Structure 1
Amino acid sequence: MAASPRRCALSASSLKACRTMPEARLAASGSVRIIGRMSGWIIVSAVLVGLAAALFLLNLSRQVPPAGWPVLLAGAGDLRAIMARDGLAPRFCAGLLGGGALGLASVVLQQVLRNPLAEPGTLGIFAGAKCAIAASIIWAPGLLALGWDLPALAGGIGVAAIVLLLSARSDFAPTTVTLIGLIASLAFGALGTMLVLTHFDALSDLYIWEAGSLIQNGWGTVLALALKLGLVSLAILLLMRPLSAMQIEGAEQLGVRTSLVRGATILAAVGLSALVASTVGLISFLGLASAAIARGAGARRLPARLVAAPLIAAGLLALTDQALLALAGGIEIPAGITVMLLSVPLLLWMLQRAPAGTSALAMAAEPMRLQLGTASAFIGLGAALVVSFALAATFGPGPDGWQFAQGVLFAELSIWRLPRITAACCAGAMLAMAGSLLQRLTRNEMASPELLGISSGTALMLLVATLFLPGLDRYGTAALSCLACLAILACVLWLGRRSAFAPDHLLLIGAGLGALLASLLSILLVIGDPRILRVIGWLSGSTYSVDAAEARAIALATASALLLPLPLLRWIGLMQLGEPVGRSLGVPIAGARLAVVLVVAVLTGVATLFVGPLSFVGLMAPHLARLLGIRTALAEIYGSALVGAVLMILADWAGRTIAFPWQIPAGLIATGLGGAYFIVASWKR
């Protein structure tokens, strides 16, 4: 029986539908995925901003009931209404503006540098802004007539230029840029701390500002900030098209002037960061967190990230600030500190996911050596140690000017000078030995106890002992500090296992842990706990409180520490050949590494207990020893100890004399010199 025309038509239409059904399903699933990616960051942004707005309304209702809100708009009311209108409301807007600007700056920096770890805090922009503002307050207050914007911008641009100049030779490799930026932050942060210690009365307001406070006393500052940020953001939006084109190979052949676009974009991003820093203070890692959340929520393309990251950052900062207002019970905790506490773990997580590349720093070539020979180098170092010790003990400024102390005057001064000189000498020797052991263990000439976060463990343990174990003596604290060093280093190695313990990743993880410690200390400083004053002085690398008994103790500890590397020399030498070769020659790799780590933890814990964590002696001393031609493991370890002792003695002497009668902690002097040395070494490579 022949099929009817209607049935044939239905069959044809059904066949066509069946053929097109997979394509339709594919298109539908693709549309769902696109909508999901688009709506993911929109939902996250809306939730964060919505929660921040809800908390703002809650805090507002606590001060002024909703029935009285029309009075706020009318410009009248009692004291609580004035505080709500001119304090709480502009504070909420400042959080939105500041967070949005930092999120936008981070996206732009990550795009132009092709670096997922780039943000104002990791590039040293905030540290430069702090130093410039402090210097302007002290020596050029006239520059602040129109606000802190100009010096903050100049300082941020200056440090960012240094970081990018040193990173250019590695083609702006992500870990290289971030590592140099973090070291620049430490060096310029030490310089800023020196200025604060020597001009405390003039710079006391910088503590609150440095913590990132959103406190406002009216709408003038917020409106001015909104206008400035709007102009800079408009310039960035005009550069969006060439920024997107820069990611294409051969962009210059298409007419894109990449160098000009890169320079203009970085300048705009630094401008955004400096404007926020000058208004609400230093808020590090917020931009990094917002950009990472935006990418994770589906904002893959540049236009989407330029919208998503600022919204997420604005919501995070405003939400954190309003939550602190609601929960702190009247205690003012700056939001910038809390944001850093939440953001640094994200940095550590990103480092575990980032590919382990070979940075220019990790595989830097050996520097030129003076080739003095081992014997000549040790003779020269021994003479330098004697001369520096004698200089520090006898020569210095006094009421009658610079003079050499002799006779009765020397006897009177030696009671104060000799213990701290001995402590500086011994601590420098132990830190240098620890640095040499770490550099040989990791086969990375940029490794040091400070950069691996070991000193941060000592600082944290001292803080815990000061607050919760007030009856613990210094020797008990030293034992706990050694355990803390070991725990921190184990944490660093555990976090770095995903990258096969890549040296650059380990250094960045250690720097991130140091930033966490700084956040905890800043919270206690802002709260005003009087017990923290002792910790703050110690963290600056001070030898002020060392007495004769403690000097004898650290001298005895150093004499014992000189014997610790001897049983490890064979293992250290064989591990330099690589793990397979060392294992084939009978070296227990795991046990050998653990033994070296234990020695490093003990050396660093005891030394840091006396001079604080702010010292780059562990980085510089092995370099200088190799510069003198000392090459073998045993000679380098003890040569580094001599170099470290001389450096710390000179740093302590300089801290006592260059700003007499005020004193600058030796750790700050060593940190400034270490940062400068790191920059010079990076430039030579």
Structure 2
Amino acid sequence: MRRLALPVAALLSVGLWLLAARMALPVADWPALPWQIGQMALPQILLTQGLMPRAVVALLAGAALGLSGALMQAVLRNPLADPTVLGTAAGAQLAIVAATVLAPQLLAGGNLPVALAGAGAATALGMALAAGRGFAPLATTLAGMLVGLTASALATALTLAQGHYLLSLLIWNGGALTQDDWTPAAHLALALAVAILGAAALARPLLVLSLGAAGARGLGLAAAPLRLITLALAVGLSALVSAELGLIGFVGLAAPAIARGLGARTLRHRLLLAPLAGAVLLSLADSLLLAVAALGGPDLPTGALTGLIGGPLLLWLLPRMPTHVPPPLETGAAPPRRARHPARGLALLAGLLLAAAALTLVLGRGPAGWGVIAPGLCASFLPLRATALLAAASAGALLAGAGAILQRLTANPMAAPEVLGVTGGAALGYAATLFLQTAPGPGALALGAGLGGAVTLAGLSALAFGRDIAPARLLLAGLAIGAFASAVLAAIIATGDPRAWAILGWLAGSAAAVTPAAALALAAAAAALLAALLLAARWLEILPLGPALCRALGLPLTPLRPGLILLAGLATGAATILVGPVSFVGLMAPHLARSLGLVRPVPFVTASWLIGALLMLLAAFAARTLASPYDLPLGLCATLIGGPWLFVLLLRKGRA
């Protein structure tokens, strides 16, 4: 049955493309070879120079991304590696956006050199961060996600700061496959042919490297040059696709996973099957969108919607996928140090939070520049600022608390609402409430978002706890859910429905429009979450030890796990409902708390809560002032503030 999945998907893709092509121009009117452009009618030109090269480009780009992801996963021994997760695509995005906005002359020779430079720099930075941990899978994934999110945040900031480039950059970021000639297809075909030959030559050395760095050295293989050559080949393929078509996510991650799920056991088989899976996946997504547009539906960019097919397919294949990551290499991290006086660290964090709240309340940026708010304006502005800051800090505390719960519950340092798809589930719950209810209020929207996050987390937990799933596969499932949620939201927004504008405004994330009552409710929820975490400290101490030991110690796992899952989901929903799906705070805050030596449950959850509030407080201030008089998205600013902090942390640990 599994062996038939790829041929059936390929046939379905061909059928959908033929449907779209026949509706655009009857088969009887298709021009015969050789084509003479000057003698064709406009529909014939659109078919031969638009639809046909688009179909070929979809196959070639999907194959290139599938091969790129397979090479990255093989050389890093990491089933989560791909151009999106490792920040390669985001590096290309930042480079092209920066060149478009700041130095357009750099694009005179085409997008490829700029995209290649950005992709290479981002990948090199991620690998430098991961090298100190021996390229352990979860450490490499964290480093890549950190680089990618920071690069995406910078690209978004540049885009928003230059409104006259907004439309063109959004179209490019969407990964539209629209073509007007065969030139991109020729470029992709040539690059793919060279890459396939290179992958064939690298297959044997990569197989030796799969024994581990020590084993490879024992057999006379130099690991560092092999990593450099393989990553250069993978980055070049990804950069070419980004330069020609824009951002196309998820294919490089899903294609190798699909290859494993379809039975590819050896490295050679995966390098052969992953490009085929990527080609079919992207072609099927594009053909489906072409058919929808031909039947009168919206014309959507393909790159933004690949998760609609790849996400469910990857989740279906996940339980059938073997684990290829040795457990001792999951994180590559030494046991964290413990602070001798955790109370002092908590007091310092609390003091920093209060000082930051006081400063951000009175400081600001106006037409005359930076300064303290004028006394005559205090009565008007201070309540508004206090409301926004309270809402932002409370949302950060909620997301950080949810991240702390997930990391203790799964014993996985990469677990977070954003990584496990909980934020995406909350976004779907928000959208569903908007469309299913007439004029829903804030309470209904908060409940919908919270239930969406909780249901998503419950499904992941059932998968993890029911099958004792490895952390890498759990993260893969979360990324698949996140990609699917993003695709659904992109489809909703592209329909032009008036309710879609509410979703778009919410996705931007801002605490400026929060009412005092809503801010107080959010603060009460954050305080209640902290109290619940402190009460559950004993449980959080035992849970990472595993289910067998938990049962031996009398821990009630049956009600405890669902209760903590529901708590994390509701906390995520409550935070996102008012300030949007903030990125990375739920992952950053627990990591930063652990880096301070606050690893026991009570100091850990308290420090995570305080750091999350501090990050979002600073993010709210940056969002209000950096592009004054306009607000930037909160999630963007939180990533720009917390990202460099994590960079320093990873570099410091890598040298330790």
Note whether the superposition's TM-score is higher than 0.5.
yes
Whether the 8 Å CA contact 1:128–1:158 is kept in 2: the answer is yes
Task: Give the AA of the match of 1:265.
Answer: T
Q: Secondary structure at the match of 2:85?
A: coil
Aligned to 2:40: 77
Residues 460 and 474 in structure 2, CA contact (< 8 A), matched pair in contact too: yes
Summarize deviations over 1:163-198 as a string: whole Å, max 9, x none. 333444555445554454345434433333333333
Report whether the alignment pairs 1:393 with 2:358: no
Task: Spell out, residue by residue over 1:423-446, the C-alpha distance to the aligned partner (whole angstroms, 9 max, x if none).
Answer: 112222333333333333344444
**Match in the other structure for 2:640:** 672
Match of 2:606 in 1: 638
Q: 1:221 to 1:547 in 2, by over 3 A?
A: same
CA contact (8 A) 2:579 2:634 kept: yes
SS at match of 1:120: coil
Equivalent residue letter for 2:292: L
Distance 1:371 1:670, change over 3 A: farther
Equivalent of residue 472 in structure 1, options 440, 462, 475: 440
> Counterpart of 1:450 in 2: which secondary structure?
coil
Q: CA–CA distance in 2 between the matches of 1:361 and 1:415?
A: 48
- Cα distance, 1:546 vs. partner? 0.6
In the alignment, structure 1 residue 318 sits paired with structure 2 residue 283: yes
Please say if 1:365 is aligned against 2:334.
yes
The 5 A counterparts of 1:87-166 are 87-166=50-129
Contact 1:455-1:608 within 8 A present in 2 as well: yes
Distance in 2, Cα, partners of 1:615 & 1:199: 22
Contact 1:362–1:503, Cα closer than 8 Å, also in 2: no
Provide TM-score, normalisation by structure 1: 0.83
Q: Contact 1:229/1:275 (CA < 8 Å) preserved in 2?
A: no
User: What does 1:493-532 correspond to in 2, within 5 Å?
Assistant: 493-497=461-465, 500=468, 502-532=470-500
Q: Which residue does the alignment assign to 1:5?
A: none
Pick from 340, 344, 348 the counterpart of residue 380 of structure 1.
348
Letter in 2 for 1:158: A
Residues 81-127 of structure 1: per-residue CA shift (max 9 Å, x gap) = 22122211221221222122223323333443344444333332222
Distance 2:362 2:464 in 1: 47
Separation in 2 of the partners of 1:448 and 1:643? Answer: 15
1:216 is aligned to 179
- Equivalent-residue separation in structure 2 for 1:601 and 1:66 (angstroms): 52
Choose which of 651, 659, 668 in structure 1 pairs with 2:627. 659
Match of 2:228 in 1: 263
- Equivalent residues of 2:619, 2:638 under 8 A apart: yes
**Superposition map of 1:222-621 within 5 A:** 222-237=185-200, 239=202, 242=205, 258-294=223-259, 306-328=271-293, 329-330=295-296, 331-349=298-316, 351-352=318-319, 353-355=321-323, 357-358=326-327, 362=331, 364-368=333-337, 371=340, 373-374=342-343, 376-497=344-465, 500=468, 502-575=470-543, 579=547, 582-621=550-589
SS in 2 for 1:553: helix
SS in structure 1 at match of 2:365: strand
Deviation, 1:266, is: 1.9
Query: Identity over the aligned pairs, expressed in percent?
Result: 40
Structure 1 gaps, min length 5: 1-35
Distance 1:90 1:669 in 2: 40
Tell me if structure 1 keeps the 8 A contact 2:94–2:154.
Answer: yes
User: Distance in 1 between the 2:524 and 2:381 partners?
Assistant: 23
Task: Note the C-alpha offset of 1:57.
Answer: 4.6
Partner of 1:26: none
SS in 2 for 1:279: helix
> Does the C-alpha gap of structure 1 residues 620 and 297 become closer, same or farther in structure 2, counting only changes over 3 Å?
closer
The CA deviation string for residues 455-491 of structure 1, in whole angstroms up to 9 with x for no partner, is 2222111111223324110012222222222211111
CA distance in 2, matches of 1:624, 1:223: 47
**Deviation of 1:158 (Å):** 2.1
Q: For residue 327 of structure 2, give the secondary structure of its aligned residue in structure 1.
A: coil
C-alpha distance in structure 2 between counterparts of 1:177 and 1:382, whole Å: 32
Residue of structure 1 aligned with 2:161, choices 198, 211, 217? 198
Q: Label 1:454 to 1:585 Cα distance change in 2 as closer, same or farther (>3 A).
A: same
Once the two structures are TM-superposed, the CA of residue 347 in structure 1 deviates from its matched residue by 3.7
- Secondary structure of 1:403's aligned partner: strand
Which of 1 and 2 has greater Rg?
1
Q: Which amino acid aligns with 1:327?
A: V
Letter of the 2:606 counterpart: Y
- Provide the secondary structure at the position in 1 that maps to 2:371: strand
More moved, 662-671 vs 293-302? 293-302
Q: Distance in 1 between matches of 2:115 and 2:481?
A: 26
C-alpha distance 97-415 of structure 1, shift in aligned 2 (>3 A): same
Contact map agreement 2:388 2:514 (CA 8 A) in 1: yes
Tell me, yes or no, if the aligned pair for 1:198 and 1:664 is still in contact at 8 Å.
no
Paired residues of 2:136 and 2:331 also in contact (CA < 8 A): no
Which of 62, 66, 84 is the aligned partner of 2:23?
A: 62
Aligned-residue offset at 1:503: 4.2
Deviation at 1:216, TM superposition (A): 0.8
Change (3 A) 1:495 1:58: same
Contact 1:424–1:649 (Cα < 8 Å) also in 2: yes
**Is the 2:24–2:43 contact (alpha carbons within 8 Å) kept by the matching residues of 1?**
yes
Using a 3 Å threshold, how does the CA distance of structure 1 residues 440 and 311 change in structure 2: closer, same or farther?
closer
How many residue pairs get aligned? The number is 645
Q: 1:312 to 1:138 in 2, by over 3 A?
A: same
1:45, distance to aligned residue in structure 2 (A): 6.8
Q: Deviations over 1:26-52 (max 9, x none)?
A: xxxxxxxxxx9xxx97x8777665654
Structure 2 residue runs of 5 or longer lacking an equivalent are none
Tell me, in whole angstroms, the C-alpha distance in 1 between the residues paired with 2:347 and 2:268: 64
Q: Taking structure 2 as the reference length, what is the TM-score of the superposition?
A: 0.87
Shift of 1:653: 0.6
Question: Per the alignment, do residues 470 and 584 of structure 1 end up closer, same or farther by CA in structure 2, a change over 3 Å counting?
Answer: same
Could you say what the CA RMSD is over the residues aligned between the two structures, in angstroms?
A: 3.4
User: Any idea what the Cα deviations from partners look like across 1:390-430, whole Å, max 9, x if unmatched?
Assistant: 21111111111111113212222224312101111222233
Greater CA drift, 484-493 or 598-607: 598-607
Q: Secondary structure at the match of 1:531?
A: helix
1:19 — aligned with what? Answer: none
Of 444-453 and 125-134, the range deviating more from structure 2:
444-453
One-letter identity of the residue aligned with 1:132: A
Aligned-partner SS, 1:333: coil
Take 1:597 and 1:156, find their aligned partners in 2: how far apart are those partners?
37
Structure 2 CA distance for aligned equivalents of residues 139 and 71 of structure 1: 46
